[in-house]
Structure 1
Amino acid sequence: MTMPAVELTLSKKTLWDWPVRICHWSIVLLVAACWWTAENHEIVYHSYCAYALLGVVLFRVYWGFFGSSSARVSHFLQTPAATFQYFKKLTQRDVPPSAGHNPLGGYSALALLFLLLLQIGLGLFSIDVDGFDGGPFADYLSFKTSRLIADWHEITFNILLGFIALHLLAVIYYLLWRRQNLTAAMVHGKAHIAEPIQAASRMHLIIGIVFAATLVWLIM
């Protein structure tokens, strides 16, 4: 695939640090695992996968404030006006790659994280039709309420699938039209950008892991 003209003048530099990449691919695998275990009524394993997913998402939220520069919300969340201006340029081909999420991608990333947290949160209060297996907080609600939340849990997952499909379409669009391989950048962490990212400290990484693990442990 021919490299865009705008990338010929840019060298490959680190765009995504390894915590971001691990979070990204862990979310992909754990969402698939949660779906498979739910479809096959493996509720115990479904819970394990959901707790693991919660830990990853909580860490990613934390990393959005204390992580590397490209991972931070303050870096990629732009004003609605700037996002609209970017939207009007979607048909253009030779556009310099963003040093992180582009304006539309930033809002999409936040929407996905919100939906994941909502999905997991609803699962904590849900219960199955037999009333035997449920989330850790289902006992605090009536069976009827927990079953209603279980319905919302399923609806939210379908909405989440829609956003995931939209995300995949965007990746394909950037690959075929903009000739920017976003998937490869999320694997090896490098892209043709002007300046490398500013890495976060190891202490911030340790605090984030402890923060996410502690919250999950308290919820279980």
Structure 2
Amino acid sequence: MGDSGVPSACPQQDGDGGAESARNSSAAPVDSQSPSEAPALDGFPLKHSNTLTNRQRGNEVSALPATLDTLSIHQLAAQGELIQLKEHLRKGENLVNKPDERGFTPLIWAAAFGEIETVRHLLEWGADPHALAKERESALALASMGGYTDIVTMLLDRDVDINTYDWNGGTPLLYAVRGNHVKCVEALLACGADLTEEADSGYTPMDLAVALGHKKVQQVIENHILKLFQNKKKK
């Protein structure tokens, strides 16, 4: 069991799934292919956030001390301001699961920006890992989009729906594949993600990996399918 308190059966984040690479992936659309390189993906509906916190822009301080008390609980969660976040949560009941105008809870924001310690504390304070935003976005899907494997496995350890399909056209596995987050794909597959789920455009995770040229992800999926067949033969 790793330091995130999740079973070792769900692989932990390393190299390609690290915080910096994941944060870079959230800064812009993940697939960099031009229309001529991947014309089949023109209609692929998965969306990516291009919003950055100050910390993700490389600033050492995410907000000036004089302005921290003006930030909402959702902004504090996204920026990993744990001390101020805890103070805000003490001001009223049920704030830990309070949705914003998009339906995002503090946990969803923290997961989206890879703030693992904030995610850990919010879960300890009673945050609901199953909460869905207005377009069915989940903490798991947004962590998968960013490649934050430690957060993904932490959420999976709390029995969240691994195959939640959102209105942007994707599942956590589809987002991880699109982002080329190999370790995140491994973690999701190890915990039972459905390889047959299709995006609105009809792409399965394998179709998407092939179309984007994500060869390592392809290999992970192929190895997983092979293991499934081998296990089936043993039974």
TM-score (norm 1): 0.28
Query: Is the helix fraction higher in 1 or 2?
Result: 1
Q: Which has the higher contact order (CA 8 A, sep 6+)?
A: 1
Structure whose CA Rg is larger = 1
